[in-house]
């Protein structure tokens, strides 16, 4: 896969080890313990995460817009200040064994702000999705990335096309992944045997491996991605057999909730044969 020219890709080559929410099957997702485990133990190259805006205008790292699934709090993130959110137990519901044990409960695991995460891992690559369609969130997000010196090592975007377009306007020099409709247009054009539109705003295809029973990543798509100077990351893959196949196919990156298994697969692939 040819390397896009954006500085984000400097020194990188396929296949990237990308820890989805830090590796949400090994530690409480989107928390510093999960991110540290991914980086220190499994040498991840990219941390994938999501951000929401708090009531007092801070950006907090969380996939969900509500608190009930991952913390002992209730309600919407947007209804709480950062200080209120950080009093919650973000490890409360994590269980590695189907509910028999909760090893992170009561251990001081907090919901981190985006600033905290960027400062904890200076220079590391991030893949960050802006979740809510809130007026001005793109400006707040850009301000944090700029002030923390993270613009060149963050690939950014949103599933929502309107938000993705606003992000591209506010930070045109950043690395952007395709939002949902633009991504679908690219993929469906290739599957129909045509040429996808060459939208210069977006560099990375972050996409699922399957749509229903259809495996979306195939030789035609990878060829089109190469021809257009784009990069393809596949989510969320936890099966080592599928990881091996994707690495053999040369995909740009694999996002996984099991960074331990992906590290094993990549280490196997890099051994001299």
In tens, the pLDDT along 31-45 reads 999 999 999 999 999
Tell me the pLDDT tens digit for each residue of 70-79: 999 999 999 9
| Residue 88 counted as domain residue | no
Tell me the pLDDT tens digit for each residue of 95-141: 999 999 999 999 999 999 999 999 999 999 999 999 999 999 999 99
| Residue 105 counted as domain residue | no
Between the CA of residue 126 and those of 58, 148, 189, 266, what are the distances in Å?
18, 13, 28, 19
| Residue 165 counted as domain residue | yes
| Helices and strands of the chain, counted as H and E runs | 9, 11
Other CB atoms within a 10 A radius of the CB of residue 69 amount to 10
- Among residues 252, 248, 249, the alpha carbon closest in space to that of 18 is found at 252
Residues 6+ positions from 242 with CB-CB distance below 8 Å: 209
| Residue 229 counted as domain residue | yes
| Residue 36 counted as domain residue | yes
- Predicted pLDDT at 269: 87
Residue 3's pLDDT band (cuts 50, 70, 90) = low
What is the domain extent for residue 212?
7-65+113-270
Token pair belonging to 17: 């080890």
| Residue 172 counted as domain residue | yes
Tell me the pLDDT tens digit for each residue of 108-118: 999 999 999 99
Cα separation, 12 vs 155, in Å, equals 13
| Residue 185 counted as domain residue | yes
Q: What is the CATH number of the domain that holds 193?
A: 3.20.20.190
Tell me the pLDDT tens digit for each residue of 142-193: 999 999 999 999 999 999 999 999 999 999 999 999 999 999 999 999 999 9
| Residue 213 counted as domain residue | yes
- Predicted pLDDT at 273: 54
Q: What is the pTM of this model?
A: 0.96
Other CB atoms within a 10 A radius of the CB of residue 264 amount to 14
- Predicted pLDDT at 250: 95
Instruction: Give the HSE-up count for residue 226: Cα atoms under 13 Å, Cβ half-sphere.
Output: 13
Q: What is the number of structural domains in the chain?
A: 1
Question: What is the DSSP-derived secondary structure letter of residue 113?
Answer: B
pLDDT (average), residues 245-268: 97
Token pair belonging to 200: 């210069």
């Amino acid at each position: 896969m040819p390397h896009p020219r954006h500085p984000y890709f400097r020194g990188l080559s396929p296949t990237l080890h990308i820890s989805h929410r830090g590796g949400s099957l090994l530690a409480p997702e989107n928390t510093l313990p999960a991110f540290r485990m991914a980086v220190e133990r499994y040498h991840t190259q990219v941390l994938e995460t999501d951000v929401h805006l708090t009531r007092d205008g801070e950006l907090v790292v969380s996939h969900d817009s509500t608190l009930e699934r991952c913390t002992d709090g209730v309600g919407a993130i947007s209804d709480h200040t950062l200080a209120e959110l950080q009093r919650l137990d973000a490890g409360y519901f994590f269980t590695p064994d189907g509910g028999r044990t909760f090893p992170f409960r009561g251990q001081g695991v907090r919901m981190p702000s985006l600033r905290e995460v960027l400062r904890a891992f200076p220079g590391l690559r991030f893949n960050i999705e802006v979740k809510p369609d809130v007026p001005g969130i793109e400006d707040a997000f850009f301000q944090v990335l700029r002030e923390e010196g993270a613009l060149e090592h963050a690939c950014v975007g949103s599933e929502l096309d309107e938000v993705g377009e606003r992000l591209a306007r506010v930070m045109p020099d950043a690395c952007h992944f395709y939002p949902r409709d633009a991504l679908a247009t690219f993929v469906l054009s290739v599957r129909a045997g045509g040429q996808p539109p060459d939208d210069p705003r977006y560099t990375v295809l972050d996409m699922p491996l399957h749509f229903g029973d259809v495996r979306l990543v195939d030789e035609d798509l990878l060829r089109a991605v190469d021809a257009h100077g784009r990069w393809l990351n596949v989510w969320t893959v936890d099966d080592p057999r599928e990881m091996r196949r994707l690495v053999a196919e040369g995909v740009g990156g694999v996002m996984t909730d099991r960074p331990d298994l992906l590290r094993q697969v990549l280490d196997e692939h890099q051994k001299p044969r």
